[in-house]
Amino acid sequence: MSAQGVETNPILKKFDLSGKVALVTGASRGIGSGLATALAGAGADVALVARGEDALAATAARIRELGRRALVVPTDVSKVDSLPGMVDQIVQEYGHLDILVNAAGVQRRKPILEVTEEDWDFVNSVNLKGLYFVSQAAARQMLKQGKGKIVNICSLTTSMGIANVSIYSATKGAVLSLTRTQSKEWARQGITVNAIGPGYFNTEMTQRLYNDPAMNQWIVDRTPMGRWGEIDDLLGAVVFLSSDASDFITGVLLNVDGGWLSA
């Protein structure tokens, strides 16, 4: 359908993010980069957050090729004191903040008996503490505006146990609980908070599993759709949950897993 058709179709218009400003954490690679590009493709201008400025350059270039603005904001989300200033910088640049996608995440794969306190602190500082306080800073701005969309990224480990990723699992289970609590606290102020639960996707974080022939085949065989997820498989979910089409949906986990959890 033509762009004019989207503009005049009241249903498709609800998915249009033109005029919106999105903040995406973990936007330098993998799922975060893909989701940031998807939001731009739906019409949003995007603020890109990760620790390294150079690492964000490729994502920013893709967004600008789509004709949207991209603001690179190098930030370590585990440094809580820097987060209000990060949001202030985005609002100063764009005038408002409408969408937050919390995609920043780190992993330490090892058996529980080998986990150290440093492992625990490292994973929690990004996956849970960082997400918590980025959401807090963004919500303060959204509450002033009377509307906002927050999308948190969970995982299969939110809903099931997987060996050797105990800290990651603990954080992703907590993210769903936090999603539900945020949705209750902010629903009447116009902010919806939902989560996406990706299945096995071929990203830098899962590269070792993808490159292991036995593990790769096990994942393919265990997934009803018979393949790994690709970043494109997540794009509809994030646009939907960031758009007016999901205005009466909050506190929900949307699994994008090729049927894994149904099997």
List active site positions.
Answer: 168
Q: Which of 54, 52, 19, 17 is nearest to 35 (CA)?
A: 17
Q: What is the rounded CA–CA span in Å between residue 99 and residue 251?
A: 16
Sign (positive or negative) of CA dihedral 246, 247, 248, 253: positive
Contacts 24+ apart (CB under 8 A), 86-94: 86/49, 86/134, 86/137, 87/23, 87/137, 87/138, 87/140, 87/141, 90/21, 90/23, 90/47, 91/141, 93/47, 94/21, 94/45, 94/47, 94/69
Q: Which of 257, 260, 151 is nearest to 201 (CA)?
A: 257
b/e burial code for range 36-48 (CB count within 10 A of at least 16 → b): bbbbbbbbbbbbb
In this structure, what token pair is assigned to residue 257?
């897993």
Q: How many CA atoms lie within 13 A of 79 on its CB side?
A: 9
